[in-house]
Structure 1
């Protein structure tokens, strides 16, 4: 009968079927991070090669996934989730800092996370491009979440008198392109700078957007003590 193979049920080796399936899924994703994010890349990886790298069978692959694109889809979401979690934590910890320091803390957290493993950058900025309409929609949806985060922080800064009050969506969309492009180029060795230099440049760009020429922060612009 056509269709995805059914996974076995019941306990084995002290683990439930769901636990065993979750472990296998983790092994496939870890193997995909290596093969998709390094050599040979997503387009040159086969189900057999991924299964071998995971130490599992192709039958076990089809118990959890239908296609390699499903694996790339899950991996792309996971890599973005890791970065988002790092940024959310940084935002909470930098709540009481002045705007420039707050932005630096947030961008250092993001940059440190996405550049901690070059394979993550390749998954996010290279392998995901042009695969399918489905993945392009997912890529744009995840980028929209980053844009929403920047807009929310800009709005909070404006409410505190730290930034000019305006609609920041267009500027945030342009800025996130700069962030992605600069971090990708730095990771690829095309930018002769330290990661701190890259973050400092991104912070300067963001402050230039939030505080245009001719606008000054209000005296009440400091975060609440």
Structure 2
């Protein structure tokens, strides 16, 4: 099937066609989170199994998606959007805090957002890998957004005199890799630490990047 079927219009059961379509889409994504993020995983799931889990038909599936890869792409974006929203809300509440405290707020929000549900971690760090060039491009694009956020925080710290001035492009890229790797390993049970200890370690890594040995903030 190469395209979506035409969606009916008009009201039914007191809801518009757009509302019914949004509800169907949500049900498919909820089912995909359970199946892709748990058992049997993305590669072991069929359209029929996903439709059954959603309580909908395969015909309705193809009204919303071209195939399972489209579902995985939408779910990956949704999981990242949840984490990004949590971080931005936390940063807004941390305005004016010292650098170390602000960094702790940032990573605590991100860590709790992505580890709250182990299925989200699997979608973000496991199931998305190696599916197709399109999904790899999407994954790297979303990672670039996190890199840009770290760079913006670093540049703001430099402007306040709280961090050493330099180009943080490569450092932010390496740091995001460390963040994702550590959180994945922690969620898999390979790191013997609490989530707060993981966050504290990430804060130390960030401060070491922003404030290298020998550098001191300018006198106020």
TM-score scaled to structure 2, two decimals?
0.98
For 2:107 and 2:2, locate their aligned partners in 1 and report how far apart those are by CA, in whole Å: 48
Q: Give the Cα–Cα distance (whole angstroms) in 2 for the partners of residues 2 and 125 of structure 1.
A: 28
| Whole-angstrom CA distance in 2 between matches of 1:159 and 1:47 | 52
Superposition map of 1:180-191 within 5 A? 180-191=180-191
Deviations 1:21-57 (A, max 9, x none): 0000000000000000010000000000000000000
> Match of 2:54?
54
Cα distance in 1 between the residues matched to 2:74 and 2:2: 24
Are the aligned partners of 2:2 and 2:66 in contact in 1 as well (CA < 8 Å)? no
Query: Deviations along 1:115-140, whole A, 9 cap, x unmatched?
Result: 00000000000000000000000000
| Aligned positions of 1:22-41 closer than 5 A | 22-41=22-41
Residue matched to 2:131 = 131
Deviation at 1:153, TM superposition (A): 0.3
Please show how residues 56-71 of structure 1 align to structure 2 within 5 Å: 56-71=56-71
Query: Residue 15 of structure 2 corresponds to which residue in structure 1?
Result: 15
What SS does the aligned partner of 2:9 have?
coil
The two structures, once aligned, show a CA RMSD in angstroms of 1.0
Q: Which residue does 1:211 correspond to in 2?
A: 211
Separation in structure 2 between the aligned mates of residue 4 and residue 78 of structure 1, nearest angstrom? 21
- Which residue does 1:154 correspond to in 2? 154
Query: 2 CA distance for matches of 1:33 and 1:16?
Result: 26
Question: How many Å separate the matches in 1 of 2:147 and 2:140?
Answer: 10
Residue 156 of structure 2 aligns to a residue in which SS? helix
Aligned partner of 1:120 in structure 2 is 120
Aligned to 1:85: 85
Q: Does 1:169 align with 2:206?
A: no
1:2 Cα offset (Å): 6.8
Quick one: distance in 2 between partners of 1:2 and 1:114? 33
Structure 1 residue 9, shift from structure 2 partner: 1.4
For 1:156 and 1:3, locate their aligned partners in 2 and report how far apart those are by CA, in whole Å: 46
The separation in 1 between residues aligned to 2:180 and 2:79, in whole angstroms, is 14
Of the structure 1 ranges 88-97 and 139-148, higher mean CA displacement relative to structure 2 is found in: 88-97
| Distance 1:2-1:169 versus aligned 2 partners, 3 A rule | closer
Secondary structure in structure 2 of the residue aligned to 1:136: helix
Report the CA distance between 1:95 and its aligned residue: 1.2
Q: Where does structure 1 lack aligned partners over 5 or more consecutive residues?
A: 221-225
How far does residue 90 in structure 1 lie from its aligned partner after superposition?
Answer: 1.1
Given the superposition, is the C-alpha separation of residues 79 and 216 from structure 1 closer, same or farther in structure 2, using an over 3 Å criterion?
same
Q: By how many angstroms is 1:195 displaced?
A: 0.2
Displacement after TM superposition at 1:97 (Å): 0.5
> Which consecutive unaligned segments of at least 5 residues does structure 2 have?
none
Instruction: Give the TM-score normalised by structure 1.
Output: 0.96
- Write the distance in 2 (CA, Å) between the matches of 1:80 and 1:14: 33
